[in-house]
Amino acid sequence: MTVVLHHGLPDRLRAEAAELYWEAFGEKLCRVMGPKPRALAFLYNALRADHVILALSQGGVDRGDLLGLAGFKTHAGAFAGGEWTDLKAVYGLFGAAWRATVLSLLERDVENERFLMDGICVAPAARGQGIGTLLLIAVCKEAQAHGFCGVRLDVISNNPRARALYERFGFVAVKTDRLGLLRHVFGFDASTTMVKTL
């Protein structure tokens, strides 16, 4: 399979990217961001086109299918972070207020030494074909291009497949945070920070 890597999210793939992101992370976010139609409406507006690397099929950015994506976070924003106005537009004032409060508990700060990933996901039909690895390579190159000495990500406790991919790629666990009672809100009990030195 020919895979084309592309920096940025074209408008024609915005809805598909929102759907793919939700498919990958909706299980942990559904109690906060659901129901699904609202979550997709939020993501559609919130996704930052300049904070993502796409894996596309042979047609590339103009005609290719979306095989996967890797979002990242910088001081300028995050791929799937969104703004207060994005939350308010979809969930109303009260709904946005409590969601913003709960989501802030999962926030990971940007740092000066390591590039921060903001989610990686591969379309179900494209899994097992090396797309995740290609995206990780692209993220590492992006990090190096911006002068970072490493890449940092977080993986939740009930996603051993993703953790195994990161470990094979050279990421090392540096700390694990337990959610305590918040595990009932997010559906997982711990998050492990992993780092790859470049």
pLDDT digits (tens, 9 = 90+) for 26-82: 887 888 898 999 999 999 999 999 999 999 998 878 889 999 999 999 888 889 988
Domain ranges (residues) in the chain:
4-197
Judge: domain 4-197, CATH 3.40.630.30.
yes
pTM for the full model? 0.90
130: left (phi over 0), alpha (psi -120 to 50) or beta: left
- Cβ(165)–Cβ(154) below 8 Å: no
- pLDDT 10s digits, 164-182: 889 999 999 999 888 676 6
Return the pLDDT at 141.
95
